[in-house]
Amino acid sequence: MEVVSAAALRSATSALLVLALVLSGCGGGDDVVVQEAPTAKERGVAPRAGGTTKIDRLRGARASAARMTITVEDVGRGRFRYRAPRSVRGGLVEIRLRNIGDAPRKAQLWRIEGDHTIREALRIRHPQPDWLRTAGGVSLTEPGEMSSTLQALPAGRYYAAGVLDTPGIVASFTVTGPRTVPAPPRAPARIEALDFSFRVSGLRAGRNSVDFDNTGAQQHHAFLTPMRAAADIKDVRRFFGSRTSIGAPPVDTEQTRETAVLEGGDRQVTQLDLPAGRYALICFVRGRGGGPPHLELGMINEVTVR
């Protein structure tokens, strides 16, 4: 029997918050642009007491890839700020996110094409014009932790931010070098996003290097949230499909894992820490023009990790 506890209510609130972040257009956001490298103190950030900084390197290609580190920190009242180097040598790049804030964050990269400015980009919700590209980035990372992604980073003007509706204080940077670069090597685990379904193989309990492969034409991401013991995938679909859900949620949204958003045809190797269990795998992204979140078009699967 489900008892509606304070914890469950908190979870419900955070689930609705996640929904709000993903689905709504409510956030005004900060449109301040900073271009700063991490300070020495930040570079030396230590793991939490009793914790370890887990960096799982993909052997081979990752060792030879260029590397950039993005830092995210909280700056009060739900505001958060990214820092990145001003200039990065492009190619196959290992992008690391160091989270020195208080809440889980991801680093979504955006690339601006043509003569458009970051201030223009930050005003965009839907429709999203073709000159603003979702360019991968680093998956959701816990406070005090660092995780990384290996992906092609072609030359261009970029910024690191949160989601479209809640970008935070973004960090702009320039990628120099070739316009076309090699794709990353294959990883043992794979999440393929199609229009509009997922194919999953090779996920196991612990830290996974995941080949996140968008073989569709649309933008997609992978959102993995642990399912509660009594819940089935229909409960999860109903929960996220309704904006008025009350009662105990069928998932533990505080333990969510989430990749960055990729354009159709793009691929990256990213890290996901997955304790054993059953997960709901969901895409909440809408099309460039708006439209329903892909969850409503069938992008929801149950995945068991052992």
Q: Contact region for Cu ion (CB under 5 A) — 52-60, 76-84, 200-208, 285-293? A: 285-293
Closest to Cu ion by CB, 119 or 126:
126
Q: How many CA atoms within 13 Å lie on the side-chain side of 87?
A: 3
**283 lines the binding site for Cu ion (CB under 5 A):** yes
Minimum distance of Cu ion from residue 134's CB (angstroms) = 11
Torsion sign across C-alpha atoms 140, 283, 303, 216: negative
Q: Does 286 participate in binding Cu ion (rule CB under 5 A)?
A: no
Q: Interface with Cu ion includes 300 (CB under 5 A)?
A: no
3-state helix, strand, coil in the chain (%, to 5): 15, 40, 45
Tokens of 213: 């492969």
Binder among 62, 98, 105, 294 for Cu ion (CB under 5 A): 294
164 binds Cu ion (CB under 5 A): no
Piece of the chain touching Cu ion by CB under 5 A; list 19-27, 42-50, 80-88, 291-299: 291-299
Report angle CA 280, 127, 130 to the nearest 5 degrees.
Answer: 95
Q: Which is nearer to Cu ion, 170 or 285 (CB)?
A: 285
- 260 near Cu ion (CB under 5 A): no
Is 197 buried (19+), middle (13-18) or exposed (0-12) by CB count in 10 A? middle
CB-nearer residue toward Cu ion: 190 or 294: 294
224 binds Cu ion per the rule CB under 5 A: no
Among 72, 285, 295, 300, binds Cu ion (CB under 5 A): 285
Residue 260: CA count within 13 A, CB half-sphere: 34
Interface residues with Cu ion (CB under 5 A)? 220, 283, 285, 294
